[in-house]
Amino acid sequence: MIWIQKRLRMPAVRRGFHLITDVLVAELPELEQIKMGTVHFFIQHTSASLSINENADPTVRHDFEQYFNRAVPENAPYFQHTQEGPDDMPAHLKAATLGTSVSIPITNGELALGTWQGVYLGEHRNHGGRRWIVATIMGTEG
């Protein structure tokens, strides 16, 4: 059994939903060592999220952003946590709803995602900056 943990620095992205599967795989050449296992990704932020969804049609990412902006609007009069700007509390709620982590099986050195699945980074702030993701790989060497 092998365990590997790395802290990955993601590039800064604009607000919205971004496919980062290729970035994660590029940062983890250790995946190739794993015959069977799991990788767990955890984003170390309260205003960004990780999720898995469709990786083919970019309108899905657009629709996600539209939905969450309507579900959790900025400048809602009931928000008290507003010192960091009108996008801050909505960003926290979006991150709490979508989650901060995903776990993906590893099969023969590759992520065992479905045909149309990819890992999304949800950037919920207008100026979130670069984000940190902790990747923990566990599995058998092949």
| Distance between CA atoms of residues 57 and 73, nearest Å | 25
Q: Which of 38, 33, 13 is nearest to 23 (CA)?
A: 13
| Residue 20's pLDDT band (cuts 50, 70, 90) | very high
Q: Per residue in 81-137, pLDDT tens?
A: 999 999 999 999 999 999 999 999 999 999 999 999 999 999 999 999 999 999 999
DSSP H helices in the chain: 21-27, 58-71, 88-98
- Reported pTM: 0.96
- Average pLDDT value for the chain: 97
Superfamily of domain 9-73+83-141: YjbQ-like (2.60.120.460)
| Distance between CA atoms of residues 39 and 65, nearest Å | 26
| Residue 54's pLDDT band (cuts 50, 70, 90) | very high
Mean pLDDT of 59-70: 97
Domain extents for the chain?
9-73+83-141
Strand order of the β-sheet with 16-19 is: 16-19, 117-123, 48-54
Confidence check: pLDDT of 142 > 90: no
Q: What is the CA radius of gyration of the chain?
A: 16
| Distance between CA atoms of residues 3 and 30, nearest Å | 10
